[in-house]
Amino acid sequence: MATKFDNILGTIGNTPLVRLSKLAPAHVNVFAKLEAFNPMGSVKDRLALGIIEDAERRLYELAEVGRYGGGFQKFETALTTAVDMAARAYQREGKLSGLATGLKDLDSKMGGLQSSDLIIVAGRPGMGKTALATNVAYNVARAWRGEVRADGHIDTVNGGIAGRTAADYCAEIDLPAHDTADIAAEQARVLAPTRREDGLTPYEMEFKTRRLVNDYLQPPKITAKINIGQERLAEVRADLDQLVVRDPHELMRALETQSILDCADLAAAASLYRTESRWGLYHLRVDYPETDNDNWFCHSMHYKDARGRIAHRKREVAPYIVPVAADEMSAYHHLRIKTPVAAE
């Protein structure tokens, strides 16, 4: 028989608990609290719902007052704006009211990019967010088309500011000289994983590289550990000839993995080059616990020499635009623990 309550307050508490028998070892009892069975909802749910509803309200208010200054518009103004948008849509390829992204399925759902849109692209690392945005920006710029008014002003029909800015920039920049042999070699390197039938996946190699960075390059930094890390990273680099991919997405991950490996090598070399400690725990050399402003108050520049090896040089720090007090410049040393103490 169902339990009856005099009012809703009687339902608070006694939320069912269920033992999770398949997610824990036999000798461990793990229980989950089924907040969904609580008619009032959990406190956390109510807080989250309040935040979401407040955000929706604020976005609605912003949409009402943000672009046009709020309030009602005259019918004449609204009609002119609508007709102008329709005219531009008629002139654009695909008859879109907004700027075409070059991705037909996306354009058909959104009607192109609208000036009032705020688009957030979310996803895990390596899922192609940057590639998507870069392709959209390229397509918008490439589609730029303008019309010259009677007064000489150029009215953009497609591409808007992005295309015009890109065109002006390109007009002032000469194409750099290039070696066709270098291009062919780079193309062969990039596509090599697609021509193998079996080998190491990008995910395996990326995991290995990140693990080595965490094990050997993280502060506090010890010279012997960094040297071992460099040897291990060299072994991973030697395995690049075994990298294999099955589709374009994995090819992108393979290239990203190689970039991660490059960054790890640079981080190790840069840490060994700067023989001092600076920025609190971020660059704490146990072998060199003190800050050496006489020799190392400078930028460390790292690059590849003619033989492809990592080389280094120093660059002076430009004068600060705004004067910085000495105690503020040492603020990093007050983070967590002091450098000399950490080195002991």
Is 344's pLDDT higher than 60? no
Q: Do 267 and 121 sit in the same domain of this protein? A: no
pLDDT tens-digit readout, 14-41 = 677 787 777 666 677 777 777 666 655 5
pLDDT score of 340? 47
Domain contains 212: yes
DSSP state at residue 217: I
Domain contains 200: yes
Is 337's pLDDT higher than 60? no
Q: Do 249 and 277 sit in the same domain of this protein? A: yes
Q: Do 121 and 207 sit in the same domain of this protein? A: no
Domain contains 68: no
| pTM of structure | 0.54
pLDDT tens-digit readout, 149-197 = 667 666 555 555 566 666 677 778 887 788 889 889 999 999 999 999 9
Domain contains 267: yes
Q: Do 248 and 291 sit in the same domain of this protein? A: yes
Number of other residues whose CB lies within 10 A of the CB of residue 201: 18
Q: Do 281 and 299 sit in the same domain of this protein? A: yes
Whole-number mean pLDDT of the chain? 79
Q: Do 23 and 136 sit in the same domain of this protein? A: no
| Spatial distance between the Cα atoms of 195 and 203, rounded to a whole number of angstroms | 18
Higher pLDDT, 99 or 300: 300
Structure tokens at 18: 């269920």
* Residue 324 backbone zone (phi > 0: left; psi -120 to 50: alpha; other: beta): beta
Residue 65 parent element (H or E):
helix 43-65
Q: Do 32 and 160 sit in the same domain of this protein? A: no
pLDDT score of 198? 93
Task: Provide the CA 241 distance to its chain's centre, in angstroms.
Answer: 28
pLDDT tens-digit readout, 211-226 = 999 999 998 899 999 9
What are the residue ranges of helices labelled H in 213-325? 223-238, 248-273, 293-296
Distances (CA, A) of 296 to 211, 274, 292, 299, 338: 30, 7, 6, 8, 19
> 79 Cβ partners below 8 Å, 6+ apart?
none
- Residue reference for tokens 């395996």: 204
Domain count of the chain?
Answer: 3
Instruction: List the domain range (segments joined by +) for residue 105.
Output: 99-174
